[in-house]
Copies of this chain bind each other. A is one copy, B any other.
């Protein structure tokens, strides 16, 4: 009975195997889109039965870290595509197309209280502030305020934002090596301040829906704080309870 190094005591074998694989993925041994070795190889390498290794891989798949494809292999999942923000809103009808982006401002600034807390950094740490407008059919529909932690996302503090394209997360991945893997959003309701209202072409004080987002990388570090504002009339969201 070999009792190889369990990552945590009191854990089942397959959970330990999953944790080990998770670490290897986070460490970059397998990049996004890469295939893992096949089950047989992994099981043999760890000296464990095939079924046990399968269980570990299934666990990682449940957690969204890998994706299993019959006949092809087990692959490390890509990060979040980005811009699923619009799923909360119904602007016009017809096929939902990709929203455009217009950067309104970009500054390096000390982090204010709320973003700092969300990012898990001390207030006043260096941050990158971005304001942008999301557009659908050339019409402004969302006003966003973003804060990014600065040593880490420094690559975005330089260069012409006009060349960035419409999605932030692919940019974060390419330029900063930051892969967004999970996000938590909080929905609320308020009234538009003058500046945002003007940008959206709505009257000041107009009711708006507010979506605050924290985005996390593979290691669980928060790498973005964002607040998006849109017309409350257009807001709609569906949940299922069980």
Chain A positions within 8 Å of B, measured between CB atoms, are 64, 80, 84, 181-189, 207, 209, 232-233, 235-242
Cβ–Cβ contact B84 & A241, under 8 A: yes
Tell me, rounded to whole Å, the shortest Cβ–Cβ distance linking A61 to chain B. Answer: 12
12 sampled A-B residue pairs with Cβ under 8 A: A182-B241, A185-B239, A186-B237, A186-B239, A187-B187, A187-B237, A187-B238, A187-B239, A188-B236, A189-B207, A189-B232, A189-B235
Question: Chain B's nearest CB lies how many Å from the CB of A217?
Answer: 13
A236 to B209 Cα, complex, angstroms? 10
Residues in B whose Cβ lies below 8 Å from that of A235: 187-189
Distance in angstroms between the alpha carbons of A9 and B182 in the assembled complex: 37
Cβ contact within 8 Å between A184 and B239: yes
CA distance A233 to B235 in the complex (A): 15
Q: Contacting A233 at CB < 8 Å: which of B84, B183, B184, B189? A: B189
| Contact among B64, B84, B182, B236 with A186 in the assembled complex (CB-CB below 8 Å) | B236
A238 to B238, CA, bound (A): 12
Determine the chain B residues whose CB is within 8 A of the CB of A187 once the complex forms.
187, 235-239
Residues of B within 8 A of A84 (CB): 241
Given known contacts A207-B189, A207-B207, A209-B189, A183 and B240 CB-to-CB distance under 8 angstroms: yes
| Set of chain B residues within 8 Å of A209, measured between Cβ atoms | 189
Asked whether, in the complex, the Cβ of B189 is within 8 Å of the Cβ of A241, the reply is no
Min distance, Cβ A186 to any Cβ of chain B, angstroms: 5
**Nearest CB on B from A57, distance (A):** 16
A207 to B187, CA, bound (A): 15
Residue of B nearest to A212 (CB): B238
Minimum CB–CB distance for A51 against chain B, Å: 9
Chain B's nearest CB lies how many Å from the CB of A209?
A: 6
Minimum CB distance partner of A80 in chain B: B241
What are the 8 closest A-B residue pairs judged by CB atoms, nearest first? A189-B232, A64-B242, A183-B241, A187-B237, A186-B238, A207-B207, A185-B239, A189-B235
State how many angstroms separate the Cβ of A87 from the closest Cβ of chain B.
9
A140–B68 CA distance with the chains assembled, in angstroms: 50
Residue of B nearest to A239 (CB): B185
Report Cα–Cα, A206/B61, bound state, in Å.
Answer: 46
| A172: min CB distance to chain B, Å | 16
